[in-house]
Amino acid sequence: MARAERPLLAWSGVFGAGALALTVLVLARGTPLAGDVRLTRAVQSRESFDGVAALVNAAGTWNWIPFLVAGGVLLFHGRLRRLRWTAEHRHREALYTFIAALGLRFVDQGLKVIVEAPRPTEAFGVQVDRLRATYGFPSGHVYGNVLFLGVMAIFASSYLPPRMVRPTQTVLCAVILLGGPARVFVGAHWPSDVAGGYLWGAAALCLAAGYGRWASRVA
């Protein structure tokens, strides 16, 4: 293993360890965890967050669309410029990272089935916009945002005009950071569900990026 991949894989291990510890805690105690109800009420008391939450939740629901479009651009970009894959290291790294992220996308769904953590209900004195049949831990919206939008933010500088890189990365990071509070605001998840989404998503993102860097070097 080269030095280039080690930091990413190390961070994947750190986030993964935190995610696993939280998952074990949820399995042992169930949700809501201590503090979940209080934090949910605090977030939901911010009525001014309503419009922002709606936009961020919509972005999280459809985060796979810009990701797939970006994947198409990766392939089309290579054909357009007739790139030699062995010579375009950064391009190959982006492509392999994209493939790895696709493979990791449904990890959260498997975790939901294993953990079987219920979502918030009005019985706890919190607001719920609608009842959802699926389990809550970890938050799939947050996990997908961190993984998909994170990959796009990492490689934005390689494919966008310089003047568009910073605004694009800012928007992507804003959706990632606000995605968790937005899910709590509408009563879709407990804060612990959201924390699980961030931790598992960060672990998956670092793993995908580490794989992309390794695969582009050895391919």
The pLDDT value recorded for residue 86 is: 39
Per-residue pLDDT averaged across 34-40, rounded?
96
Do 118 and 136 form a contact (C-beta atoms < 8 A)? yes
**CA 119 – CA 137 distance, rounded (Å):** 8
Instruction: State yes or no: pLDDT of 28 exceeds 50.
Output: yes
78 pLDDT band (50/70/90 cuts)?
low
Mean pLDDT of the chain: 88
pTM of the model: 0.90
The pLDDT value recorded for residue 194 is: 98
Handedness of CA 191, 193, 198, 199 (dihedral sign): positive
In the chain, what are the domain boundaries? 6-116+126-218
